[in-house]
Amino acid sequence: MAQQTIALGTAANDGTGDDLRTAGGKINANFTEVYTASGDAVARANHTGSQAASTISDFSEAVDDRVASLLMAGSNVTLTYDDAAGTLTIAASGGGAGISDGDKGDIVVSGGGATWVLDASRIASLSLADSAVQPGSLGTLAGLNSVATGNLDDNAVTLGKFQSVATATILGRSTAGTGLVEPMTPATAVALLPVATTTLKGLIGPFTGTADQCVQGDGTIGSKLPGATDIGTNAAPVVADSLIVKKLSDGTHGYSTGTQIIAGLGLATKAVGINAQTGTAYTLAATDGGAEVTMSNAAANTLTIPANATVALPVGFICSVTMLGAGVTTVDGATGVTVNGVSGGGAAISAQYRSVTLKKIATDTWVMQGAHGAVA
């Protein structure tokens, strides 16, 4: 029913408006319409308009209570609803994302869930692409940012797994202090190596000598071997039995024959020394090392090997003794000297023009070899 409006007339008491009965009927009809639609109040279900929440009494309280009833506490989660303050506090307890320590198969969890370690056997089965390992990093391996070295098998990372490098690149570290591996140029690597000295192996510095000089073993500049012949860069082939010697000053080469090398080292005229003894007694001296001692006398004669305390001949001392005369030569060890295992032992050279060799192998221990009788 449409709203009924009471006609008031044009002016008061002019008889043009509704009479009292008609006006009362319209009032009753309007109220009947209202009460019929809502009962004691306007039915919420039939309300089609909008209304601000602030105009509805207890709206916020009703919402708070409803939310508090919908949320439920769970494992490691607590809810605290303060109705007076209008707050709802959600708190969580525990740790490790709920993961307990222990072996989970491929992963071992420890430290209350803080540390996860992938089994070494699992890592060994993973596949790395070529050039996957960059200098200073293992890259990303199956989602891991790093892998403990103890979890990698020996020889597991091949050279093919390292990153590709440019030609003439050396892997090392030139930056001061301990750190990651770096690619280096040959010049950078050479700068890290020491220069050779008389006591230290190393690089030989730039050649500053002349064309007739060469670099010696201790890194210093010295003369070439005598007789060396310059063959230049495009000369004829080197003669047979020659030793090539490079001249670093200009890049050309020289050669020396074997005879020239021997002469240069002073070996061509070197001969064994002869110590000719004609008496009946002689004691070895330091000057007899590498020499030949001849004993020439018609009567019996003796060569004595001295104790180390008397004549400190070096271990490794060697000399030869030859009996030139008709008198028998006996080689005797002094007191405390062992000869062929016999303390103070000695023996006679077996015949004229025969020889023995004496070798000192320890402080007072000697070996006699050659033409001699039994040592006693």
Q: For the residues 333-359, what does the mean pLDDT come to? A: 96
Residue 282 has pLDDT above 90, yes or no: yes
Which of these, 340, 334, 280, 327, lies nearest to 312 by C-alpha position? Answer: 334
pLDDT of residue 314: 95
DSSP-H helix ranges across the chain: 20-38, 59-70, 120-124, 186-192, 258-264
pTM of structure: 0.34
Q: pLDDT of 242-277, one tens digit each?
A: 555 555 455 555 556 666 666 666 665 556 789 999
Which tops the pLDDT comparison, 38 or 78? 78
Q: Rounded CA gap, 325 and 193, in Å? A: 63
pLDDT of residue 62: 82
- Bridge partners (DSSP) listed for residue 91: 78
Q: Rounded CA gap, 186 and 192, in Å? A: 10
Q: For the residues 231-238, what does the mean pLDDT come to? A: 49
Which of these, 7, 47, 5, lies nearest to 29 by C-alpha position? Answer: 5
Residue 19 has pLDDT above 90, yes or no: no
The domains of the chain are located at 104-161, 213-264, 274-370
pLDDT of residue 154: 78
pLDDT of residue 309: 96
For 277-304, give one letter per residue: b (16+ CB within 10 A) or e. beeeebebeeebeebebbbbbeeebbbb
pLDDT of residue 115: 82
Which tops the pLDDT comparison, 259 or 19? 19
Residue 119 has pLDDT above 50, yes or no: yes
Q: Which CATH architecture has domain 274-370?
A: Sandwich (2.60)
Q: What percent of the chain has pLDDT over 90?
A: 31
Which of these, 224, 193, 230, 197, lies nearest to 209 by C-alpha position? Answer: 224
Which tops the pLDDT comparison, 174 or 241? 174
Q: For the residues 224-251, what does the mean pLDDT come to? A: 52
Q: For the residues 109-136, what does the mean pLDDT come to? A: 64
* Res. 139 pLDDT band, cuts 50 70 90: very low
Q: Rounded CA gap, 313 and 366, in Å? A: 11
* Res. 77 pLDDT band, cuts 50 70 90: confident
Q: For the residues 182-211, what does the mean pLDDT come to? A: 80
- 196, 218 Cβ separation under 8 angstroms: yes
In DSSP notation, 280-336 reads SEEE--GGGTTSEEEE--SS-EEEEEPPTTTS-PPTT-EEEEEE-SSSPEEEEEPTT
